[in-house]
Amino acid sequence: MPEEERHGIRVHLDHLLSERGMTLTELSAQVGITVVNLSVLKNGRAKAIRFSTLSRICDVLQCQPGDLITHDPAEPT
């Protein structure tokens, strides 16, 4: 991966879904986002996320953005 694309952003969607006993398919239906797009986010391949999408995910999972996404500059992907 080119150096300018490296980042230390970590997405904890698997952990949050597991804690809530929810599947990606269930989240997709409740948030109104395709399973494919949520999978891209979950697997750390997303290059961006809209605030409206982040807000809907947080509403459904009853979490804060910092519960879903963290930054660890020591470990670029």
* Whether residue 12 has pLDDT greater than 70: yes
Q: Supply the mean pLDDT for the chain.
A: 90
Report the run of H or E that residue 32 belongs to, with start and end: none
User: What DSSP letter does each residue of 13-30 carry, written as one string?
Assistant: HHHHHHHHT--HHHHHHH
pLDDT of amino acid 7: 78
Cα–Cα separations (whole angstroms), residue 3 to 25, 42, 45: 33, 22, 15
pLDDT band at 5; cut points 50, 70, 90: low
What does the pLDDT look like over 50-71, one tens digit per residue?
Answer: 999 999 999 999 999 999 999 9
**Are residues 28 and 34 in contact, defined by beta-carbon separation less than 8 angstroms?**
yes
